[in-house]
Structures are given as structure tokens and as C-alpha cells.
Amino acid sequence: MTESMNAAVMYGPGDVRFGDVPRPACPEGGFVLKVEAVGLCGSDIRNLTTDSRSGQYPFIYGHEVVGRVVETDTTEELYQVGRLLYVYPEAACLKCEFCRSGHSEQCINVEHYTEHPGGFAQYITYTRSRVERGAVYPIPEGADPVLATLAEPLSSTYACIENVGVGLHDTVAIIGAGPRCSRRACRRANR
Ligand SMILES: [Zn+2]
Ligand SMILES: [Zn+2]
């Protein structure tokens, strides 16, 4: 009998239903996480409210995942059962010209979170390819998994600040208070 798990499954624009789905098996050479916490990104709102998958439903989103390894098919230390991990939403190939020149953000062979079911579920699996590529980070025991889901937004912000060249004791002006949903209903609610 196939085991089941709870998941928030998207069936179309604005149609997300919470229910039972089959629990995924551990991929060859990969690992399974029991999701401890998952961030809700601005892109999730956009993806969940539009036809973001061009009719390819059902699908499980959720890409800011912190979870504990509960099954593994690799001997690599990082992926052993019990490890608490943060998994970055994308994994660059580290082989193409862009990756090798230090611009993995331009990778032509990137593994993107939309290519496999995400973390709005009790369990999420990763393949051998993710084990090889990495972009997975151990979370220290005792750290709050909810806070750890902010690792990716934090890294984006940190990279921006580094690129702009702002440092300690600089005076800066922040224009605008971050992204705002462009949907008419939200604009009204935000007024
Ligand atoms: Zn995100
Ligand atoms: Zn690459």
C-alpha cells in the first residue's frame, strides 16, 4: 500500500487544495526530507494565482524549504538521516562557461524549483543530481527552522548590499518599502 502525506496542491490559478497525496519514494542516489518549515515567497503568490504552469496541474509549490533527512540513498555525510538542512531553490550545474567563470546565476543548465514537486507538503524528495550539485546547507541543531527558511531572501539582500557597496556607518536612503502585489484586490487592501 502506498503511504500518503498531506500537501497543499495547486489545481489551477487560485485553486489550491489541502489533501492527501501519495508520499514520494526516495529517488536513486537522492534523499527525502520531512519538511519542518517552508517560506512563502512573493513568487509563490504570483505562481499560485496565475496560470504559472500553463495548464500543467496538479503541482505542489514551495521552494524555501527546511527539513530533516528521513531517508537517504547516498553515503555523503551531509545527507544522512537526522540532518537538518536548508535546500536552496536552484542548483547551478557548476560546469558550464558561466558557472566556471563565477557567474552561476547565469547558468545555462540550472535545476529550478519548478522542475520537481515542492515543499508545501510533509515530505519532499531530491535526486542524485541535487546531491552532486549541492546548494544544500546544514542548519545547526537548536536553530528555529522557520527563521532558517529566510536564508535565501537574506542571501539575496546581502548580495544586493554587497553589489551596491553599502557598508557599516554609511547613510542610505531607501526608496519604496519592498514589493507589493499588483493584483487589484491587494492594491485595494493595501490602501
Ligand atoms: Zn523565493
Ligand atoms: Zn552552469
- Confidence at residue 173, expressed as pLDDT on a 0 to 100 scale: 86
- Confidence at residue 108, expressed as pLDDT on a 0 to 100 scale: 95
Q: Which of 143, 138, 147, 152 is nearest to 80 (CA)?
A: 138
- Confidence at residue 161, expressed as pLDDT on a 0 to 100 scale: 86
The rounded Å distance from CA 31 to ligand 1 centre is 22
State the total domains in the chain.
1
- HSE on the CB side for 187, CA within 13 Å? 3
Residue 21 lies in a domain: yes
Residue 172 lies in a domain: no
Residue 14 lies in a domain: yes
CATH of the domain at 68: 3.90.180.10
- Confidence at residue 114, expressed as pLDDT on a 0 to 100 scale: 87
Q: Which of 18, 32, 27, 22 is nearest to 123 (CA)?
A: 32
Give the number of whichever ligand sits closest to the CA of residue 98.
Answer: 2
- Confidence at residue 159, expressed as pLDDT on a 0 to 100 scale: 85
- Confidence at residue 155, expressed as pLDDT on a 0 to 100 scale: 86
Q: What one-letter code names the amino acid at 148?
A: A
Burial pattern 9-29, b for ≥16 Cβ within 10 A else e, equals: bbeeeeebeeeebebbebbeb
- Confidence at residue 176, expressed as pLDDT on a 0 to 100 scale: 76
Domain membership of residue 13 as a residue range: 4-167+178-190
Weakly modelled stretches of the chain, pLDDT under 70 = 1, 177-191
Residue 173 lies in a domain: no
Q: In Å, how far are 26, 36, 107 from 98, measured between CA atoms?
A: 31, 34, 6
Cα of first residue to Cα of last residue in the chain, in angstroms, is: 52
The rounded Å distance from CA 2 to ligand 1 centre is 31
The rounded Å distance from CA 77 to ligand 1 centre is 27
Q: In Å, how far are 64, 75, 133, 148 from 42, measured between CA atoms?
A: 11, 36, 26, 17
How much of the chain, in percent, has pLDDT values that exceed 70?
Answer: 92
Give the number of whichever ligand sits closest to the CA of residue 97.
Answer: 2
Residue 48 lies in a domain: yes
- Confidence at residue 42, expressed as pLDDT on a 0 to 100 scale: 85
The rounded Å distance from CA 110 to ligand 2 centre is 6
The rounded Å distance from CA 160 to ligand 2 centre is 21
The rounded Å distance from CA 101 to ligand 2 centre is 10
- Confidence at residue 127, expressed as pLDDT on a 0 to 100 scale: 95
